Amino acid sequence: MNEMVDEIFSNCKADLEKAYLHQQNEYLVIRAGRANPHILDRVMVEYYGVPTPIVQMATITVSEARILNISVWDVSQIKNVEKAISQSDIGITPTDDGRTIRLVFPQLTEERRKEIVKEVRKICEETKIAMRNVRRESMDMLKDMKKDGELSEDEFATSEKEVQKLIDKYTGMADDLADKKETEIMTV
């Protein structure tokens, strides 16, 4: 009986951790005015007929605070990489000198910073919704156990409080992460 409750907690915690990691990964690709190699994580290049991530085709370095250098290993693919970046939604025009592609991140305007902060808040809210869904699923399983007589009223109440403690912890972490990202974006 207790093993089932432990399994519910374990699954609940794992699902909350997944939601939190997803939020972290989403924030990595948000452009905050500084050069960030993760902005290219979702850009795919047609490489001999196979969509390939740029990171598997090149070395990506930050040469200055607002400049990314992309050194493509197969020089014949520079034009394809440049084309893929141009067609992506990152909003930066690449320039190449025949050997290296450069992405210069423009200084963000106050208006653009506020738009990005809204995006950060939206991602945070989506994460918290996912976490509340995890809570609902866990609570439904606990209620079913109580209904089936596998949990007493006291055990159910204790379990309910433990699930809520987990949710509160992870939603707090999600808010803290959003606050840090917002501070990063709004700092000029």
Q: What is the 3-state secondary structure (H, E, C) of the chain?
A: CHHHHHHHHHHHHHHHHHHHHHHHHHHHCCCCCCCCHHHHCCCEEEECCEEEEHHHCEEEEEEECCEEEEEECCHHHHHHHHHHHHHCCCCCCCEECCCEEEEECCCCCHHHHHHHHHHHHHHHHHHHHHHHHHHHHHHHHHHHHHHCCCCCHHHHHHHHHHHHHHHHHHHHHHHHHHHHHHHHHHCC
Output the pTM of the full model. Answer: 0.74
Domains of the chain: 2-29+109-186 (1.10.132.20), 37-104 (3.30.1360.40)
User: Best-predicted range by mean pLDDT among 26-35, 59-68, 93-102, 164-173?
Assistant: 164-173
pLDDT band for position 121 (cuts 50, 70, 90): very high
Write out pLDDT tens, residues 28-52.
Answer: 877 666 777 888 888 889 888 889 8
**What is the mean predicted confidence (pLDDT) over 53-60?**
89
Give me the pLDDT at residue 149, please: 86
Write out pLDDT tens, residues 70-118.
Answer: 998 988 888 888 888 888 877 788 888 888 889 888 787 888 888 889 9
Q: Which residue has better confidence, 21 or 37?
A: 21
For the chain, give the mean pLDDT: 88
